[in-house]
Amino acid sequence: MASGILAWRTPRLNDPMTVPASCFEPPPASAGPPRAWPGIDAVYCISLQSRPERAAAARAELARVGLLPITTFYRPLRHPRRPVQGIWESHQAVARHALGRGLRRVLILEDDVSFRRAPDPGRLARQLVRLPPGWRILFLGHWPFRARFLTRDLLRVESACAHAYIANEPLLQWLDATPFGTPGAELRKGAGKGIDSAYSMLPGCYAVFPMLAVQGDSPSDHFAHLRAKDGGKLHHRLMRLLPVERFYGAGMRGAEALAVLRALPGGLLNCWPRRRGRN
């Protein structure tokens, strides 16, 4: 998870003050010629200025799967008090930057992303076409709380995690209009106050199946902040005792398997093509 910049550096899209262009690093010329990714206007990766080792690891990972030539890095400063707020504001800043460029659909990544396999541009384009009008998110990796099959390789989900997802224009607009702590922004009970907790409550969210990306196990500023708290809450104590980053990466696939098993009775069979002659 990449925590982000101060609130005063993420104004509304139409405000005269804009996010400093220096925070956005265009794709390096050395990355080679870009590959066509139908249905995706751009790729962004969020990585703190204070974590150059994570930015370097993310560039290597994106080069491995062919995304680096089209990836713009957003390099915010670490939020001085609340990493969870910084994470929200980083995703918001990326959305506003995309809208300001006239983009309608972008892939947003965090610098701890780890791809299980390289995304296939053609398959991903076909999956995007099959989504219903007005969809908001297509997760490439997630922690599902609920899932139902839309097709054999697409799930309709209520999911957390924001390390790898395609944001459609309705989500970009929602991010632009919804600062951290906005009254009425619904959060999932027990999932914290972060952007992925809000995502898990939004309608119009889907996920590729099986998932393409998990979170890596590099140390997280967000979890380090929670570990440092003196409070006696159970999840703070657990974070001081357990390797939470490793748990998240491994747990996503287990959560996906459990959600799919629950979805099987009423989902997958209805998505399978019927044989000729059968009703």
Q: Is residue 11 part of a domain?
A: yes
| CA 34 – CA 260 distance, rounded (Å) | 35
100, two tokens: 């300001």
Number of domains in the chain: 1
pTM over 0.75: yes
| CA 118 – CA 115 distance, rounded (Å) | 6
270, two tokens: 């209805």
> Where in the sequence is the domain holding 251, given as residue range(s)?
7-269
Residues sharing a CB contact under 8 Å with residue 41, sequence separation 6 or more, in sequence order? 98, 103, 104, 105, 106
Report the DSSP pairing between strands 71-74 and 24-25: antiparallel
User: Contact at 8 Å (CB) between 3 and 50?
Assistant: no
- Chain centroid offset of residue 29 CA: 26
Q: Which CATH number goes with the domain that contains 60?
A: 3.90.550
Q: Is residue 223 part of a domain?
A: yes
pLDDT of residue 30: 80
pLDDT of residue 217: 64
Give backbone dihedrals phi and psi of 149, rounded to 5 degrees, phi first: -75, 130
Q: Is residue 277 part of a domain?
A: no
Q: Is residue 278 part of a domain?
A: no
Q: Is residue 276 part of a domain?
A: no
Q: Is residue 234 part of a domain?
A: yes
Q: Is residue 160 part of a domain?
A: yes
Q: Is residue 1 part of a domain?
A: no
pLDDT of residue 14: 41
pLDDT of the chain, 279 residues: tens digit per residue: 555 443 334 444 444 345 666 699 999 888 778 888 999 999 999 999 999 999 999 999 999 999 999 999 999 999 988 999 999 999 999 999 999 999 999 999 999 999 999 999 999 999 999 999 999 999 999 999 999 999 999 999 999 999 999 999 999 999 999 999 999 999 999 888 999 999 999 999 999 999 999 998 655 555 454 545 565 555 555 555 555 656 667 788 899 999 998 888 765 555 555 444 433
Residues sharing a CB contact under 8 Å with residue 1, sequence separation 6 or more, in sequence order? 83, 87, 110, 112, 162, 163, 215, 220, 221, 222, 223
Helix, coil or strand: residue 154: strand
User: Contact at 8 Å (CB) between 99 and 13?
Assistant: yes
